Chains A and B, each alone.
Chain A
Amino acid sequence: MDRHGAVGGTISSVTAMLHRIFDVFSSLKLTIVCLSLTIVLVFAGTLAQVDSGIHEVQQRYFQSLFVWWPSASGGIPVFPGGHLLGAVLLANLIAAHARRFRWTWKKFGIHLTHAGLIILLAGGLFTDLFSVESSMRLAPGETKNYSEDSRVMELVVIDGSDSELDQVTAIPASRLGKGGTIGHASLPFRIVVRKFYRNARVQPLGQAGPEALPASTEGVGSRVAVFEVPRATAPNERDLPGAVIGIEPISGGAPSPGTWLVSDQLGAPQTFSCAGKTWRLEMRPARYYKPYSLTLRKFAHERYAGTEIPKNFASHAVLTDPERNENRDVLISMNNPLRYRGETFFQSGFEKNDTATILQVVHNPGFLAPYVACVVVGAGLLFQFGCHFVGFLHRRGTSP
């Protein structure tokens, strides 16, 4: 009996607690608290952009559970971040509607509005998690079947022994940052990380001062010095990671004592031999390969007559897709992107004296959510406030 009672008591106290949690999550107070905190967060995140790059601000304030102070690596959480506030607001929205939903025309506008907000918030979260942004730089006549993400660097080891196809093994720079030894089934050797730089600068030994030492024993690294600089914060800068690595053959032969410097500031790839093959070694932006390719025919930068005010940027390119048997001219210009096979190409910039183009390539499976949400919320608000207004005018009309 006692046991039974105790279990019953536990169950009822658990349900009571769940009820209480549900109460909290569906309360209007929580909505107001979260919205107020969001205002403070957005305001702080706006002011922070005066001193920090937008990318860093996004990660610190908006794409995080907490804002850490003085920094994320060493500090304490001082404020809820964008992801946490967004998630709580979303839960609050859903809980409140689960609890109070009642179908009446009077409430129709409010339901519609909040349904739209759920789409918007969920879509935002989805985009944050699943969208991939990269860029494609094309000089006239150049063809590429990949885009690059210069914020994510990777170390690639290329087996070029097959003249038709390169065998590429890629290691993210973030993996190098963890140190240790890295191996892969396709490689007859292991890579040992001797030193990793989050943001490195490379200088020829002659210019680096009398005390500078060669960065590595082999390759380009033997002629240059490498040193760490503070992480990039300006909007147009990015970290340029670098590493000093060793190559350890898995079978046969003693481990080579030589080290190699890898960094995307070195320009050309370096080569070394192992297990009877020649391998290319390169640090470069991460690539996203596509089953189709783009060739730039011409980049046009128009200005208004007699001024330097840009009028239009346009890339005239050729899209080739052997799988789908497509080969056609495409035009990508300001406010006129190319959408193809789930990816969108936007005119983003230009380089090399106005001849080469930079295209922003976005894969965002959730891109429709804001469009739907805008219509739904707009209709909801219009309906709700319209009802208020008409009712108000009606009452005024009938009152003496």
Chain B
Amino acid sequence: MKQYFPWIALAVAALWIVSNSRMPTSAPGDFDLVTFGKIPVLSDGRNKPLDTVARNAMLIIHGKQTLRLDDGRVLDARRWLADVLFNASAADKHPSFVIHNPEVLGLFGWEQDGRKYFRFAELVPFLEKIDGQGRQVASVESAKRTPFQTAIHNLRNSLILYQRLKNSVRPEVTLGFADEIAAFRAAIPPGLEAMAKREKGEPFDQKKFEAFVGLAARFQTMSEMACLLPVPPGPAGSGPREEWLSVGASLLQTISTGEGNPVTEAYALTGDAYQGGNAALFNRHLQDLAEGMAKREPQASGRAAYEFFFNQLAPFYQAMGLYVLAFLLVCGSWLGGNRSLNTAAFYVLLLALAVHTFGLGSRMYLQGRPPVTNLYSSAVFIGWATVVVGLIIERIFRDGVGSACAAVIGFTTLIIAHHLAGSGDTLEMLQAVLDTNIWLATHVVAITIGYSAMFLAGTLAVIYVARGVFTGSLTKKSAESLSRMTYGVVCFATLFSFVGTVLGGIWADQSWGRFWGWDPKENGALLIVLWCAIILHARWGGYIRQRGLMVMALFGNVITSFSWFGVNMLGVGLHSYGFMNKAVPWLAGFMISQLVLMAIASLPPGRWRSFQSEVRS
């Protein structure tokens, strides 16, 4: 039985993954929001499915990807977005806007009563106030904002996004958008004629003129408000291949081309059916829209479908679950001295790594970029690299230590990534200076692997100290092997941190003509390299031994977390992408915990439970 246990554990974990990976289906007779979610649009400079638009918008506006109505029903992101896009008056009654800050509520004269989510309809009387307050904040550096300022600024951004979404594919108030479009097309020729006459000063038909100009102005407003560009460029070969357009802009194009756009019209019909509550009609028009899109934009449609699949699978969440399971198995093997639990943990970790790798690879495919492009992806990649190295260590030493580190760091980094994703699209487009795959693939990857190795060394040190001081389980042999692992990983970290740092300098030399500028992020990388150099020299010179190495590896955690996150919080420098007020206490807490561990590790050997017998003898 024992020898089968690892395989059983693996099979259970794999079954769990498979059961979580079923694609959603819509019930017959209901609105087909699965097809809806796969339709590609251009937003924030990249093609993405409406499913991603929905999830990101909900994260920004609502703080999470599901919404609970007052009657207890739960809307998923696609349903919510369909309401916002096609049935604005219904969406206005959903409690969409998250407001935590009591001072913001005070601004409206409301007292905090445990309610966190508010309807657009409730906020309407205060729109001007919010806009005025939010505008004032825009000039304050994000690092210097008070919680109230941050909250009002975010609320203003949420409201802007919400109102732009409402006007992206149809006007937020319309009795029938398809009819409006038909009326507009009919109004164009007489309207243009009247306009020409008016310019010449001849008598013209005022009614026809107004019918045309009124609708044109309406679509112009739509085009200015739109934050989605859902209309793909015309088919290749039919004139110049332009950019994606908003619905409003594509309608205005009708004036010059005289032809309607099938995508625009399909959106109008789909939206009318949704607003009218006719699911069968909605599904039929949606099918037309999806098929037309797949024919015109096969690549964008293919990628959007893949991204939809990726979103549903949520590989990073699933990997998190597997890391927890693996960690529990390792702990079990330590407590029970059971080798098969350890093997089971190793297998589960391999599965977790596969899922993690799939997520990482999918992101690379969708973005067409090397793995690390922003802070979010750096967290995902640090976790991945650590798990790889941890598993290699486990293969060599087979004592559960490599597995435990891999599981802990894999889980922690994915949790960090999860919290970093709150600001919207994690596959965002890159600023001009970052638009170079060579340097992203070399400098950024090398630096990030350096971070991984430093955290791995630090975690090994935590295990050493925790086992040595608080338990009697740290035998001479296991202490010896932990110290070898830590030393090896520090060497690895030195190599990657150094090469990564210098490559960063070379990149800077290539794009600014300055190899080194003492920018905070550069300094952070340099601190890691210097610290590695000190550890290695101190060890070679015999100034530190096992415990000294561990204390220094613990401080490596402090330096690396400063370099990875801390410098971004200074809010200065070329690399200060993504400032996070919220993370400050977490970072400070982590650093203090490491300093405490260092103090504990510096206790004389007589106080270490594992070393007491040795000291006495």
Contact = CB atoms under 8 A, between A and B. Distances in A.
Indicate the member of B396, B498, B519, B537 with the most A CB atoms within 10 Å: B498
A392 B505 CA distance: 33
B419 to A, nearest CB: 23
A42 B534 contact: no
B111 interface: no
Interface in A25-76: 28-29, 31-32, 35-36, 38-39, 42-43, 45-47, 49-50, 54, 57-58, 61-62
A39 B552 CA distance: 14
A35 B502 contact: no
A305 B243 contact: yes
A54 B518 contact: yes
Interface in B33-69: 42-46
Contacts of B524: 46
A366 to B, nearest CB: 9
Interface string B492-519: 1011001100110111011111111111
A335 B506 CA distance: 11
B44 A360 contact: no
A49 B520 CA distance: 8
Contacts of A57: 518
A291 interface: no
Given A32-B541, A42-B523, A306-B43, A235 B488 contact: no
B229 interface: yes
A364 interface: yes
Interface stretch (B172-180, B277-285, B425-433): B425-433
Interface stretch (B116-124, B188-196, B525-533): B525-533
B45 A306 contact: yes
Contact of B435 (A35, A305, A334, A381): A334
B530 A393 contact: no
Secondary structure of the A side of the interface? helix
A143 interface: no
Contact of A35 (B44, B492, B534): B534
A18 interface: no
B354 interface: no
Nearest to A304: B45
Contact of A42 (B243, B502, B527): B527
Interface in B279-324: none
Contact of B518 (A62, A304, A335, A378): A62
A35 to B, nearest CB: 5
Contacts of B503: 374
A32 B435 contact: no
Given A133-B514, A307-B429, A32 B499 contact: no
Interface residues of A, number: 61
A31 B533 CA distance: 10
Interface string A367-400: 1001101100110011011001100110010000
B127 interface: no
Given A311-B435, A389-B488, A367 B509 contact: yes
A187 B123 CA distance: 74
What range describes how many residues of B lie at the interface? 35 or more
Contacts of B520: 46, 49
Contacts of B526: 42
B495 A28 contact: no
A46 B523 contact: yes
Contact of A335 (B498, B510, B537): B510
Contacts of A378: 495, 498-499, 502
Contacts of B541: 28-29, 32
B4 interface: no
A108 to B, nearest CB: 16
A361 B513 CA distance: 8
Contacts of B543: 32
A313 to B, nearest CB: 6
Contacts of B226: 306
B426 to A, nearest CB: 15
A374 B506 contact: yes
B567 A310 contact: no
Given A32-B534, A371-B506, A348 B570 contact: no
Contacts of B527: 39, 42-43
B573 A35 contact: no
A310 B432 contact: yes
Contacts, number: 161
B513 to A, nearest CB: 3
A278 interface: no
A304 B523 CA distance: 31
A237 to B, nearest CB: 14
B538 interface: yes
A127 interface: yes
A348 B513 CA distance: 10
A349 B127 CA distance: 37
Interface string B207-247: 00000000000000000001101000000000000011010
B540 interface: yes
Nearest to A36: B534
Nearest to A31: B537
A78 interface: no
Contacts of A304: 44-46, 429
A39 B429 contact: no
B44 A307 contact: yes
B488 to A, nearest CB: 7
B597 interface: no
Contact of A374 (B43, B439, B499): B499
Nearest to B520: A46
Interface in B403-451: 428-429, 431-433, 435-436, 439
B484 interface: yes
A241 B435 CA distance: 39
Nearest to B574: A54
Interface in A262-316: 303-307, 309-313
A335 B433 contact: yes
A388 B540 CA distance: 13
B581 to A, nearest CB: 15
Indicate the member of A133, A313, A361, A374 with the most B CB atoms within 10 Å: A374
Contact of A312 (B432, B502, B573): B432
Contact of A54 (B505, B512, B517): B517
A38 B491 CA distance: 20
A229 to B, nearest CB: 22
B494 A392 contact: no
B332 interface: no
B518 A45 contact: yes
B571 interface: yes
A47 B570 contact: yes
A47 B243 CA distance: 45
Nearest to A363: B513
Contacts of A58: 517-518
Nearest to B528: A39
B244 A306 contact: yes
Given A38-B530, A46-B567, A367 B498 contact: no
B8 interface: no
Nearest to B246: A306
A151 B458 CA distance: 44
B45 A307 contact: yes
A35 B512 contact: no
Contact of A346 (B227, B505, B507, B513): B513
B11 interface: no
B391 to A, nearest CB: 16
B255 to A, nearest CB: 21
22 contacts: A28-B537, A28-B540, A32-B537, A35-B533, A39-B531, A42-B527, A49-B572, A54-B517, A57-B518, A58-B518, A306-B42, A306-B226, A306-B227, A309-B428, A309-B429, A334-B432, A334-B511, A364-B513, A370-B509, A373-B502, A382-B495, A385-B491
In the A-B complex, the 9 residue pairs with the smallest Cβ-Cβ separation, listed nearest first, are A304-B45, A362-B513, A374-B502, A28-B541, A385-B491, A46-B523, A381-B495, A310-B432, A307-B45
Given A306-B43, A396-B396, 10 more contacts: A32-B534, A45-B523, A306-B44, A306-B244, A311-B435, A334-B435, A370-B509, A371-B506, A377-B498, A393-B396
